[in-house]
Amino acid sequence: MAVRASIASRLNLPAGRLARREALVGVLLVMPWFVGFLVFLLGPMLVSVYLSFTDWDLLTPAKFVGLKNYRKMIFEDPLIKQALKVTTIYAFSAVPLRVVGGLLLAVLLNQNIKLKSFIRTVFYLPSVVSGVAVAMLWLWIFNSDFGLLNLILNLFGISGPAWLSDTRYVLAAFVIMSLWGVGGSMVIYLAGLQGVPTDLYEAAEVDGANSLTRFWYITLPMISPVIFFNLVMSIIAALQIFNQAYIMTQGGPQNASMFMMLYLYFNAFEYFKMGYASALAWLIFFYILALTLLVFRSSSHWVFYTGSVRGK
């Protein structure tokens, strides 16, 4: 208040008028974000709620059908179960690999090694490459006739499978490909690791703790908020996988890679069932919300913050 009064006196303005001017400036600065939020996020979400209760083919006016889309989604559409199954298996396979892989990579690159900055850059670069370019690259890697992966397997006398055209291996191929972007989480882990106080390691070393003990009882608890963040973001990303499946398999073979987002796209822009696609979008939203809330609920048991007890 004293600072505001001083500024007001220098500008020859009443303190109340200065406060109103500051509030107006604040509103004007926030307005672009607020308008963008209404137009590009909240608005489309509200429209999609309405469309989920309609039958709309993008060409004729939407026709209100009540709960028909949701009833079809729950009781009549067999591909829903397949899409949920594929998406869930992928998420529960890829997310732990990304979280653990990024952490181990960060721990290794946090050591005093030669060319450390260069190696970090090499591992991080794939995470900023366009999703379409990555899909085209992995199409070649997984090619059953001249793909790089099968050529490497042949060097060890192993006959590589048809990764993208065999129902037994196509999902495993997507899980392997998910490790391509592990450098993104690695960078976040590195920031967390460098924030761990060195005196904790020195005290533990004086007490005779070995490297594994220090990692388990100091490093992991201290960076658990970072692990929590990467876990939540990885779950959200895994449940929304689309680009790779659309470019590489189109949901095949035999719907073995029919992810939820891909099935939503087909209904919206190939089958012109925009109302049904909107209902699918809300199914995905609540599925992501449920898993995210479970992770948040469990965080009190394993996420530790400075000055807190058991994450509280």
Return the domain boundaries, the chain: 2-51, 68-302
Pick the closest to residue 229 from 190, 185, 197, 289 (CA basis): 185
What pairs with residue 63 in β-bridges? 55
Predicted confidence (pLDDT) at residue 98 exceeds the cutoff of 60: yes
Q: What is the DSSP string of 36-68?
A: HHIIIIIHHHHHHHHHTTEE--SSS--EE-TTH
Q: How does residue 63 score in pLDDT terms, banded at 50, 70 and 90?
A: very high
Residue-wise pLDDT tens digits, 116-129 = 889 899 999 988 88
Closest CA relative to residue 121, chosen from 194, 47, 187, 31: 187
What was the pLDDT predicted at 265? 97
Tell me which of 232 and 207 has the higher pLDDT. 232
Distance CA 118, CA 106 (A): 14
pLDDT 10s digits, 289-301: 999 999 999 999 9
* pLDDT class of 258 with cuts at 50, 70, 90: very high
By the 8 A CB rule, do 71 and 89 touch? no
* From the candidate CATH numbers 3.40.50.2000, 1.10.1840.10, 1.10.3720.10, 1.10.3450.40, the one assigned to the domain spanning 68-302: 1.10.3720.10
**Percent of residues, the chain, with pLDDT higher than 90:** 73
Q: Is residue 88 a contact partner of residue 259, using CB atoms and an 8 Å limit?
A: no
146 versus 288: which is more confidently predicted? 288
Neighbours of 129 (CB within 10 A): 12
pTM of the model: 0.88
What is residue 112's predicted lDDT score, i.e. its pLDDT? 85
Q: Give how far Cα 273 sits from Cα of 246, 263, 278, Å.
A: 18, 11, 9
